[in-house]
Amino acid sequence: MIRFCSWQRRLALTGGIRWKATSSRVEKAESSVQDKAVKPFSAIPSPPGSLPFIGHIRLLKGLTSLSELTSKLFKDHGRIFRFDFIGYSSVFIADPSAVEKTFRHEGKYPSRSFTEANVDYILKQRNDRNFFVFQSGEEWRDTRSKLGKQLMPANVYGYCPGFNKVSRRFIRNVYDVQNDDGFVEDVRDLIRYWSLEVAAHFAYGADIDSIKNKGGLEKEFQDAVGGLVDTLFDLQTGPPLYKVFPTKAYREFNKYLDKLIEIGQVYADQYTSDIKERAAVSEEKFHGMSLLEQWLIEGKMSAKDAISHSINMLAAGMDTTAHTTAFVLYTLSKHPEVQEKAYKQITSVLGDDEEPDGDSLQKMPYLGHHIKETQRLYQVTPYTARWLETDVELLNYHIPAKTTIFGGLETMGQDPTLFKDPLKFNPDRWTTDDIHPFTVLPFGFGPRGCWGRRFAETEMKVLLCQVS
């Protein structure tokens, strides 16, 4: 097994803020639940100093991680607090039953937040509304229904041979950067290459060697995805001045999106040129074909839409999976007992030189528990988000319709009232402990939940098998 150094300090970029609930916080939360009278929205605890229209915007100044701020606010206010921001109020909750209730009220067209409308506005200006993650209402529902078939287990498992190949290449790359003592200092770039290569495999059927192609399209793609995510953050957390003039964030968002579309088109031209000849395929052959090929062959959407959705999958799956995988390897390196258990399970299912496929992966539940436990402590997104069309009552407070409700995943994942010994890394808790299902939701929930969950979990399990 490859030995990884522990890189906790350097990797704790977005999550990993640890704190212990103080008794006053828990008491405060419990007392509010015990008081049965429903209180008005204005009574929800909130940081002081909210100004007209801009609200608490001053608290965002100089912030590099929103979760840093919200962890503090949960500590200060308990399980629910209100945050005012450019004319809107959002509510943050750290209670699994309240998170569940929010999802149960999400309606036919779940929406993540009012900021979706901001992105929708920009896409309308571009006359470019076929990006799945940003779609809403009937348009979103229609797209999602057209993409259902590709999520079937047989289809996802059909990519295992490609995932194995890319994972073997990752290991070879890791060996290349090992030091004389057999340790690897920093594998973040290699993990990002791996996640781009697996995503390019299922999205386009591309076989990319990022190290060999250094400086090529892959690097441009990664930079564009990173840039897009950063500008999205700026667009969503600043006043919508781009409606008045093209702000820097607005121009950059468009620049990165144009770049992604350009690269998607290059991949599409390169890897689907023989699509017409392959149009008559049996169901069995269909599995294992790239997403783009399948969508083009199915013909339920235009080629332009199919290309946009394939870029969307690549972009949505790349950094999320890389981040999670970095921490999966980190927790593996930190906990020899976890390595041992994973190794035993893998070798009890796979023979020498045998590679994992859908059947064998299903016989390795421990790998799933290891991933889930990693996600409990090291979240990609520290919140779930929903914007409801109807009023709802949460934790004895009235929440009016059209309020964004954020579920504090990071806070709940480390809450000692929800997890025994919460800072202990223990994958076995997922078989033994009684855990509320809405406490750890790294992929969100429901019809608007992560489209690529099965892809991500399969890729990571294949990598774990290859690493052992």
449 contributes a contact to ligand HEM by CB under 6 A: yes
450 marked ligand binding residue: yes
Pull the structure tokens for residue 427.
């994958």
Pick from 102, 306, 455, 458: which binds ligand HEM (CB under 6 A)?
A: 455
Least spacing, CB of residue 410 vs ligand HEM, in Å: 12
Least spacing, CB of residue 258 vs ligand HEM, in Å: 20
Q: Position 63: which residue type?
A: L
Per-residue H/E/C for 10-21: HHCCCCCCCCCC
Binding mask 361-390 for ligand HEM (x = CB under 6 A): -------------------xx--x------
Cβ proximity of 455 and 318 under 8 Å: no
Closer CB to ligand HEM, residue 77 or residue 323?
Answer: 323
Percent helix, strand and coil across the chain, each to the nearest 5? 55, 5, 35
336 phi/psi in degrees, rounded to 5:
-55, -35
Which region, judged by CB under 6 A, interacts with ligand HEM, from 164-172, 253-261, 389-397, 443-451?
A: 443-451
The span from the CA of 278 to the CA of 272, in Å, is 9
Pick from 5, 86, 133, 151: which binds ligand HEM (CB under 6 A)?
A: 133
Which region, judged by CB under 6 A, interacts with ligand HEM, from 93-101, 179-187, 308-316, 421-429?
A: 308-316
Least spacing, CB of residue 356 vs ligand HEM, in Å: 18
Residues 6+ apart with CB under 8 A from 446: 103, 106, 110
Alpha helical stretches, state H, 272-351: 283-286, 291-298, 303-334, 336-349
The span from the CA of 414 to the CA of 426, in Å, is 13
| Chain center to CA of 465 | 22
Give the residues across from 39 on adjacent strands. Answer: 397
Residue 416 has what DSSP assignment? T
Least spacing, CB of residue 322 vs ligand HEM, in Å: 8
The span from the CA of 242 to the CA of 52, in Å, is 21
101 contributes a contact to ligand HEM by CB under 6 A: no
456 contributes a contact to ligand HEM by CB under 6 A: yes
Closer CB to ligand HEM, residue 416 or residue 449?
Answer: 449
Among positive and negative, which fits the CA dihedral 248, 250, 251, 252? positive
444 contributes a contact to ligand HEM by CB under 6 A: yes
67 contributes a contact to ligand HEM by CB under 6 A: no
235 contributes a contact to ligand HEM by CB under 6 A: no
Pick from 156, 228, 316, 392: which binds ligand HEM (CB under 6 A)?
A: 316
Residues found near ligand HEM in the complex (CB under 6 A): 112, 132-133, 144, 312-313, 316-317, 320-321, 324, 380-381, 384, 442-445, 448-452, 455-456
Please enumerate, by residue number, every residue annotated as part of a binding site for heme: 450
Please enumerate, by residue number, every residue annotated as part of a binding site: 450
